[in-house]
Amino acid sequence: MGKFVVKETATGFKFDLKAGNGEVIATSEVYTTKAACLNGIASVKTNCVGDVQDLTVEPVAEVKHPKFELYTDKAGEYRFRLKAKNGEVIAVSEGYKAKASCENGIASVKKNAPEAEVEE
């Protein structure tokens, strides 16, 4: 089972969503307060049911928020970002060499986030 790990940084708090094997699936921005970080976790749990909008294919199908956006970065790696109902980015992935690996990352967030424990 996955877990959210809250960490204090020099400028605030952030979280990582980790799979059962300890691998980081997604990470957050830095929040100014711990309460805001915990709200971010709650938002991921709520919004991870969204569909996937694949920005790597033409034409791009329109998908309403909440959603995962699958895209390629400047280095040509595949990444995803989870957007809440209001369009705010609430979690992002690492870069993946293969699109299938990125899709597996999205599936892992959908599987692990809803029931993940929070470790502070």
The DSSP line for 69-103 is: EEEE-TTS-EEEEEE-TTS-EEEE---BSSHHHHH
- Domains of the chain are 3-119 (2.30.29.80)
What pLDDT digit, counting tens, does each position of 48-102 carry? 999 999 999 999 999 999 999 999 999 999 999 999 999 999 999 999 999 999 9
The amino acid present at 28, given as its one-letter code, is: S
Residues 32, 48: Cα–Cα separation, whole Å: 23
Indicate if the pLDDT at residue 40 is higher than 90: yes
Is residue 1 over pLDDT 90? no
Is the dihedral angle over the CA atoms 87, 68, 77, 1 positive or is it negative?
positive
What is the CB-side half-sphere exposure of residue 55 using CA atoms within 13 A? 14
